[in-house]
Structures are given as C-alpha cells and as structure tokens.
Amino acid sequence: MSFSAALIVGIFFGFILQKVGFTRYSKIVNVYRFTDLSVLKFMLTAIVVGSVGIYLMRDLGLVNLTGSTPTYLVGNFVGALLFGAGMALAGFCPGTCFAGIGRGNLDYLIPGVLGFLTGAILFGVTYAQVFPVISAIANYGVTYMPDMFNVNHWLLIAFLALFSGYLFYILAKKGEPRPDNVKA
C-alpha cells in the first residue's frame, strides 16, 4: 500500500472514530466501567470481519501471509502490559489520541504524543539488549491461531462470530428487567 493510500485510509478511519464518538475519553473509560460496551462491540465486529476478509483473500490466492512475524508470547505479554499502562495513564488508546487531536482536543496532544515518543525512545534504546532475551522465551515462530488449536480457520472464525453474537445478545439483554424482578 502506498503512503498516500495509507494516509487516505487513516483519515477515513479517524473520521469514523470521531463520528461514532470513540475519540471521547468517556467512551473509552466507560468500557472499563462496563457501562458502555460499544467499543468492545466495534472491536469484536472488526476482528470477525477482518478475519473473514483476510482468510477469504488467502484462500482465493489474492494475498500471501508468509510475511507475518513470529509470535513471542512473553514479548506480547510485556507489550500488552506496557500498552495497557500507557492507555490507563493517558486515558485513551493510541488511535483515538490522533483522532482526538484532529478534532481539536489539544489535551490529547501532551500525554499522547509524549507517550508515543517516550515509548519509541525506550524501545530504540533497549531493543538490542531486551529483544534477544524475550525472544528466546516462548518463541512460537510464525504461527496462526487455527494452527495452534489444530482446527480449520473457518471453524475458528465461525466460533468467534458465534461467540461475539452471543456476547452481543447477552449485553443487549443486560439492561432489560427480568419478569420476576419487575415491581408493580
């Protein structure tokens, strides 16, 4: 993908994030309070649709997934902890940071950009020393979830879609009063 195509896709994605309200702090923090799970629904839907698209294109021979990177379980865990800590400290996720700046929320600029720069500098300074240690622990090589579970990829995607649909159903029912709890 060329730089201009990536820029156009990024601007479109940021526009969508802003229009649905995902650039607001309250929308992100309410996911962790379990009071507004629309971001969770959005992400699960994106994962299912993206999985279908990627594997359909692979099965049709339109893309080759051999360029994937190895799976380093410990590295993924450490990265997730750092990402989560940064997200908790800043109060928003990286995607919403730049979309919020584009919306004019300059208060996103300081923690967001400083967090990105700090993380990039720390990564650059420590990579040569830390990566060999982390990559030697639980290195699964290039692997995909269907291979890890030894199932057909369409079966795993169907399970993910059914799980997501069931979760959406439960979340929709959550707010409805049960008949035995209704007061006259």
Could you read off the pLDDT of 76-125 as tens digits, one per residue?
A: 898 899 888 887 777 777 777 777 777 787 777 777 778 888 888 998 99
Q: List, in order, residues 6 or more apart from 92 with CB less than 8 Å away.
A: 23, 25, 28, 100, 108, 112
Above 90 in pLDDT, residue 160? yes
Please give the pLDDT value at position 49.
94
Q: Which residues pair with 72 in a beta bridge?
A: 139
Confidence of residue 52 (pLDDT cuts 50, 70, 90): very high
Q: What is the pLDDT of residues 162-175, one digit of tens each?
A: 999 998 898 888 76
Token pair in block for residue 157: 């995607």
* Distance set, CA 15 to CA 31, 50, 102 (Å): 21, 19, 9
pLDDT at residue 177, rounded to an integer: 46
Task: Classify 13 in phi/psi space as left (phi over 0), alpha (psi -120 to 50) or beta.
Answer: alpha
Does the pLDDT value for residue 11 go beyond 50? yes
Residue scoring higher pLDDT (47 or 182): 47
Query: Can you give the pLDDT at residue 59?
Result: 94
pTM: 0.72
pLDDT by residue (tens digit) across 58-76? 999 998 877 678 888 888 8
pLDDT at res. 184: 43
CB 131: neighbour CB atoms within 10 A? Answer: 13
Instruction: Return the pLDDT at 58.
Output: 92
